[in-house]
A and B are shown apart, each in its own frame.
Chain A
Amino acid sequence: MLKWLREPASETQITHGARLWLYIVATVIMVLLVAPTLIVVPMSFSDSQYLEFPPETWSTRWYEHYFTSPEWMSATVTSFQAAILTMLVATPIGILAAYGLHTSSLAYIRLVFVLLITPMMVPLILVAIGAFYVFVKVNIVHSLFGLVLAHSLLALPLVVIVTGSALKSYDMNLEMAARSLGAPRWKAFLTVTLPQIRFAVITAALLSFLTSFDEVVVAMFISGGDNATLTRNMFNALRDQIDPTIASISTIMVLVTSLLMVLSQIFGRAKGSG
Chain B
Amino acid sequence: MAAVDMTGMNAEGLRRDGFLERLKLFGLCSPAILLVLVILVIPAGWLAYVSFLGADGQFSMENYARMINRKSYMRIFITTFEVSFMTTGICVLIGYPLAYFLSQLPARIANICMITVLLPFWTSLLVRTYAWLVLLQKQGLVNTFAIEMGLWDEPLKIVHNMTGTLIGMVHIMLPFLVLPLYASMKAVNRDYMKAASNLGANPVSAFWTIFFPLSTPGLFAGMLIVFVLCLGFYVTPAVLGGGKVIMVSMKIASNIELFVNWGAASALGVVLLALTIGALWITSRFVRLEQIVGGGH
Q: Tell me the A residues contacting B by CB distance below 8 Å.
A: 9-14, 18, 22-23, 25-26, 29-34, 36-37, 39-40, 43, 50-54, 93-94, 96-97, 99-101, 103-106, 109, 112, 115-119, 121-134, 149-150, 152-153, 156, 160-162, 165, 210, 213-214, 216-217, 220-221, 231, 234-235, 238-239, 242, 246-247, 250, 253-254, 257-258, 260-261, 265
Contacts and interface: CB of A to CB of B under 8 A. Distances in A.
Given A29-B98, A153-B39, A238-B133, A96 B28 contact: yes
Contacts of B113: 30
Nearest to B175: A33
A13 B203 contact: yes
Nearest to B262: A133
The 10 A-B pairs at the shortest CB distance, nearest first, are namely A123-B232, A130-B43, A100-B28, A26-B101, A97-B32, A14-B203, A12-B203, A11-B193, A125-B249, A36-B131
A73 B125 CA distance: 21
B67 to A, nearest CB: 16
8 contacts: A10-B193, A13-B197, A29-B98, A34-B120, A126-B252, A153-B36, A217-B234, A261-B122
B183 interface: no
Contacts of A43: 134
A156 B193 CA distance: 40
Contacts of A39: 131, 134-135, 141
Nearest to B45: A130
Which residue among B119, B171, B206 has the maximum number of chain A CB atoms within 10 Å of its CB?
B119
A259 to B, nearest CB: 10
A234 to B, nearest CB: 6
A118 B104 CA distance: 34
A96 to B, nearest CB: 4
Most chain A CB within 10 A, of B123, B140, B196, is at B123
Given A22-B97, A93-B32, A165-B294, A37 B119 contact: yes
Given A112-B26, A220-B253, 10 more contacts: A25-B98, A37-B128, A51-B133, A118-B36, A119-B36, A125-B272, A126-B272, A132-B256, A161-B297, A216-B235
Contacts of B47: 126, 129-130, 133
A88 to B, nearest CB: 13
A221 B235 CA distance: 13
B10 interface: no
A129 B249 CA distance: 10
B118 interface: yes
Interface string B27-62: 111011101101111111011001000000000000
Contacts of A51: 133-134, 137, 140
A104 B26 contact: yes
Nearest to A242: B133
B276 A123 contact: yes
A40 B249 CA distance: 27
Nearest to A54: B141
B43 A33 contact: no
Contacts of A37: 119-120, 123, 127-128, 131
Contact of A100 (B26, B46, B120, B232): B26
A134 B43 CA distance: 6
A33 B176 CA distance: 13
Contacts of A156: 32, 35-36
Interface string B95-124: 001101110100000000100111110111
Contacts of A50: 139
Given A12-B206, A125-B269, A258 B297 contact: no
Given A11-B193, A13-B203, A96-B28, A123 B231 contact: yes
A157 to B, nearest CB: 9
Contact of B238 (A105, A132, A239, A254): A239
Contacts of B158: none
Nearest to A15: B203
A99 B28 contact: yes
A96 B31 CA distance: 8
A216 B228 CA distance: 18
Nearest to A117: B293
A12 B207 contact: yes
Contacts of A210: 122
Contacts of B234: 124-125, 216-217
Nearest to B235: A216
B226 interface: no
B287 interface: no
A35 to B, nearest CB: 8
A104 B22 contact: yes
B286 to A, nearest CB: 17
A96 B32 contact: yes
A172 B265 CA distance: 48
Contacts of B294: 161, 165
